[in-house]
Structure 1
C-alpha cells in the first residue's frame, strides 16, 4: 500500500496520540503516533519510570510515511509489577510527553473493565467527546474494551455525494485523522485497551466479506489498535480481526463479524413470533444449510469453541447486537439466524458460563434471554454505547423508552436501592421499560467470582457528571 506523502493534520507537539494496548500484570504495550526525530533516525527516546528508569524491551516501527514526517510505533516493556503507577516518557525533537500507566491488577483481585463503542470523529462530536473522556479518565478502569466503529472510514462528512466512497489510501488518512482528533489518545492516565472492529472501521456501512479494501483496513486496525501476543494472556488469531484476552479466569473473545460475513436470505418464519427466541432457537437448530457459517465463518467458530473449553467464564465481544429482533439494525439474530442459533447451541454444549458485550444500536440496554428452557442458565447481553456518535433516540424525547421497546430488558428488583440519585420519573421508566439509557455512554464492570457464579457490578456512565445507572447481578 502506498502511504500518502502529505498529510495536513500531522501533530508535531505533545500530547502525541498514544494508546496502551494489550497488557498483563508484567508486560505493557503501547502504540504511539509520533513525528520523526529526524530523517536519519526512526526511533525517538522512550522510557518508563517507576522507582527507576526502565528501558523498553522492544520498539518496532509499524507504519512510516514516505517523507518520514511521522511514524506509528509499538513499544513494549516487560518485568513490571502490578499496582505500581509508572510514567511513560517520550522525547521527540527536544519535546517531552509524559503519561501515567499501570499494568493489570493481580489475578486474585476483582477485575474492573470498561466497555463501549462507536467513536465518531466528525465535527459535530469533537466538543461532545471531551465530556465522555473526562469521565473515562476519572474512572480509570483496569481495562478498556472497544467494540468497534472506532474509526469512521466512510464518514459522511468526508464522502458526502461521492458515491464510490473511500479508496485504499483514504482508509489510512481516516485512521490518522481519528487518532489526532479524539481525546481518547490524549488521556493523562493511559488504560490498557483491547479492540474489535465493526462496519465503519472495516471501511463501509454494513460491510461484508466482499468489501474490496478489507485487507488494507485489516492491516490498519491491527497496527493502530492491535498488540503482540502475550503468553497465556493475549492471543491473536491469524485470520480476520479475532483474538482472545484472558485475565482473572475471564476470557474476552474478540469476534469479527465483518471479514467472513454474508447476509442470509432466510426470513424469520411468520408462524413464529420474531421475539420468541426460545421457539426460534428450537426451529433453527433443526436447520442446516450452506448458509450455516455466513456470519462468523467456520474457522472463527471452530477456533472460538476450541479455546472456550479452557476458560472458567467467557465474554463474547461483538460489534452488532446478538439478540436484535426488536429493531431493524443489523444483529446476529436477524441478519444470520441459522448460524446464530447453531452457535448458541454449541456454546451451551461447552457447559461454560458466558455473557455478551455488544453495541451498534446507539443506546445502552441490559437484557436477559431464557432461550434454552426453564431451569437453564439465561444469556445476558449488555448492549452499551455510543461513546459519541449518532443518537437516533435520545432522552430528550419523552417516549424514547416506548419507541424502542425490548421485552427482554432487565427489570431490576433493586433499582431504587442501587440508584437513589435517579428521579422518580426516570425510575418509573426504567421499572416499566427495563434498563436502558439514551445518552452517550460507557459501562464499567467490576467482576469477581462468588460461590454461584460471576458477581458483576455495572456502572453506566454518561457524558454528564453523574453515573446514570448502577446494576448488580450474578451470571
Structure 2
C-alpha cells in the first residue's frame, strides 16, 4: 500500500499522470470556435466511450450532446468531438462523460461561440494570449544536470486573465532523443506535456490554436528532410484543434482562422524547409508556394490587423540561430510581395528565441512599418539576449525571463487599436504598447 501511494505521488510531481479516478489522462480542451460549432478534445487513460454534453449558460435546461466516440490505443486514446448545436455569441458550460459517467473538475469547463456582429454592431473586443517554448521536465529522458523546464505556474497566470483564446507559437512540446525516431515516442512526448496538471484549467476554458517549430516537429533545427515529418503532422493534428490544416494540399500544417474582425494566418516553417547549412541550391524556409498562398489570402482579407504566426523570428536583421535572416532571399521575396500587393495591417507573431522582443521595420516614408512580436519562452530556458545586431528591435521591449503576451483589440470598426501587454510568469507587466490600425495603412488610404 505504501509503495502504491509513493508511486502516485511521484507521478503527480512529475506532471505525467492521468486523473485515474475518472479515466482521463489530459484535458478536456477546447479547440477552435466558430459561430455554429466548437471543437472539444479529451484524452483518456485507456479505451473508453466518450461524449460531451453542453448548454447555454443563460438557458441551462436545454442540453445538447455530441456524438459518441470510443478512444483507442493507436491514436493515444484521444477523442475530438464537435459541438454543432451552438448559436452565435453564446457562452456554454460543458461536461465530459467517460463510459457514461460525468467527469467532475474543480475549475470551469466552458466555451464560447463567436459573435455575429457583421451588419449589426461594431466588432467585439478581442483578447488573446500568445506564447512559445513550453518544456515539461521528465527526468529519465532529460539531459543530466539542472532541469530545463520550470515556472509551470505561468499557465495558471494565463488562465487567470481569461483570454478568449490562446495562440501557441511553436515549441509547444520538446521532443527528446528517445522520441523523434518513432510514432510511439511522439505519442509519449505529446501526452506527457499535455498532462501537466498546471495546464489543465487553461485548456478547459480557453480556445486553443497552434503552429509548430522544430521541437514539436522533430529534432533540434529539423527541416524538410526529416523522415518522420508526416508522423509529426499526424501527431500535431491529433493533439491540437485548429479548424484547418494543409492549406496548400501538399502536406504540413499551414492554415488560417478568424476571430471577430481579425484574421490569423498560421504558417509552417519546417515541412518545406531547406537545412540551415545547405547552401548548394535555392534555399527556403516557407517555400514560394506557401508564400504565394499567404499573399493571396492576405489580399482577400479585410481585417484591420492581419496576424501572421510563424515559428521563427521574421524581422530581425541578426542573421543567426534560425531566424528568417539566414534565408535573406526568401525573406526579401515575402516582404516585397506584401508591399507590391499593398497589404495593410500586417503583424508577425513568432517565438523560438527564448526571449521576447518587438521589432519594427520601416523601409521608407511611403510605407507603414511592419511589426514583429517575438514572444518566448513559457517554461523552457530563458536568456536575456540583447539582440546586439538586430537593427529593428525596440530596446525597451527585450525580456529575458519566462513570459507571455496578452493582446487586446478594441475600439469601433473603423478605428481599431491593438494593445500588446507582456507579462511575466506571475502576471507582472513587463511592458505595454498600443498600435493603431490606421497607422498600418498606406498614406493614400489613411483617414
TM-score by length of 2: 0.80
Q: Is contact 1:363-1:385 (8 Å) kept? A: yes
- The answer to whether residue 175 in structure 2 is matched with residue 153 in structure 1 is yes
Partner residue in 2 for 1:224: 239
- The answer to whether residue 161 in structure 2 is matched with residue 142 in structure 1 is no
Instruction: Give runs of aligned pairs for residues 88-127 of structure 1, distance below 5 A.
Output: 88-92=94-98, 94=101, 96-98=103-105, 99-107=109-117, 108-123=123-138, 124=147
- The answer to whether residue 340 in structure 2 is matched with residue 349 in structure 1 is yes
Q: Is contact 1:115-1:145 (8 Å) kept? A: yes
| Number of residue-to-residue matches in the alignment | 396
Instruction: Give runs of aligned pairs for residues 161-176 of structure 1, distance below 5 A.
Output: 166-176=181-191
Post-superposition Cα deviations, 1:232-265, rounded to whole Å, max 9, x if no partner, equal xx99554211101112332111000000000466
Q: Is contact 2:315-2:360 (8 Å) kept? A: no
Instruction: Give runs of aligned pairs for residues 399-410 of structure 1, distance below 5 A.
Output: 401=386, 404=388, 406-410=390-394
RMSD: 2.9
2:419 equivalent among 453, 457, 465: 457
Q: CA deviation at 1:348?
A: 1.4
- The answer to whether residue 333 in structure 2 is matched with residue 332 in structure 1 is no
Q: CA deviation at 1:25?
A: 3.0
Q: CA deviation at 1:202?
A: 0.2
- After the TM superposition, list the runs of 4 or more consecutive aligned residues in structure 1 that deviate by more than 4 angstroms: 8-11, 57-61, 234-237, 264-267, 449-454
Partner residue in 2 for 1:359: 351
Post-superposition Cα deviations, 1:137-173, rounded to whole Å, max 9, x if no partner, equal 1111112111111121126xx67xxxxx643321111
User: Structure 2 CA distance, aligned partners of 1:147 and 1:188?
Assistant: 16
Partner residue in 2 for 1:473: 435
Partner residue in 1 for 2:228: 213
Q: CA deviation at 1:454?
A: 4.3
TM-score by length of 1: 0.75
Compared with structure 1, are the counterparts of its residues 33 and 100 closer, same or farther at alpha carbon in structure 2 (3 Å cutoff)? same
2:369 equivalent among 378, 385, 394: 378
Q: CA deviation at 1:105?
A: 4.3
Compared with structure 1, are the counterparts of its residues 349 and 56 closer, same or farther at alpha carbon in structure 2 (3 Å cutoff)? farther
- The answer to whether residue 64 in structure 2 is matched with residue 65 in structure 1 is no
User: Structure 2 CA distance, aligned partners of 1:114 and 1:200?
Assistant: 21
User: Structure 2 CA distance, aligned partners of 1:246 and 1:298?
Assistant: 24
3-state SS in 1 of match to 2:401: coil
User: Structure 2 CA distance, aligned partners of 1:120 and 1:169?
Assistant: 19
Q: CA deviation at 1:228?
A: 4.3
Partner residue in 1 for 2:398: 436
User: Structure 2 CA distance, aligned partners of 1:256 and 1:120?
Assistant: 21
Compared with structure 1, are the counterparts of its residues 251 and 451 closer, same or farther at alpha carbon in structure 2 (3 Å cutoff)? closer
1:297 equivalent among 271, 277, 287: 287
User: Structure 2 CA distance, aligned partners of 1:59 and 1:315?
Assistant: 36
Compared with structure 1, are the counterparts of its residues 192 and 346 closer, same or farther at alpha carbon in structure 2 (3 Å cutoff)? same
Post-superposition Cα deviations, 1:258-287, rounded to whole Å, max 9, x if no partner, equal 0000046699xxxxxxxxxxxxxxxxxxxx
Q: Is contact 2:40-2:80 (8 Å) kept? A: yes
User: Structure 2 CA distance, aligned partners of 1:451 and 1:228?
Assistant: 25
Partner residue in 1 for 2:21: 13
Partner residue in 2 for 1:202: 217
1:192 equivalent among 207, 217, 225: 207
3-state SS in 2 of match to 1:128: coil
Stretches of structure 1 that go unaligned for 5 or more consecutive residues are 1-7, 160-164, 268-288, 394-399, 411-432
Partner residue in 2 for 1:420: none
2:313 equivalent among 321, 324, 328: 321
Q: Is contact 2:243-2:257 (8 Å) kept? A: no
Partner residue in 2 for 1:22: 32
Compared with structure 1, are the counterparts of its residues 361 and 182 closer, same or farther at alpha carbon in structure 2 (3 Å cutoff)? farther
Stretches of structure 2 that go unaligned for 5 or more consecutive residues are 1-15, 118-122, 139-146, 441-447
Compared with structure 1, are the counterparts of its residues 316 and 240 closer, same or farther at alpha carbon in structure 2 (3 Å cutoff)? same
User: Structure 1 CA distance, aligned partners of 2:248 and 2:134?
Assistant: 25
User: Structure 1 CA distance, aligned partners of 2:174 and 2:252?
Assistant: 19
Post-superposition Cα deviations, 1:61-112, rounded to whole Å, max 9, x if no partner, equal 6x6205x9x6201111124245543222112254513512223345421221
Compared with structure 1, are the counterparts of its residues 215 and 350 closer, same or farther at alpha carbon in structure 2 (3 Å cutoff)? same
Q: Is contact 2:156-2:199 (8 Å) kept? A: no
Q: CA deviation at 1:127?
A: 5.6
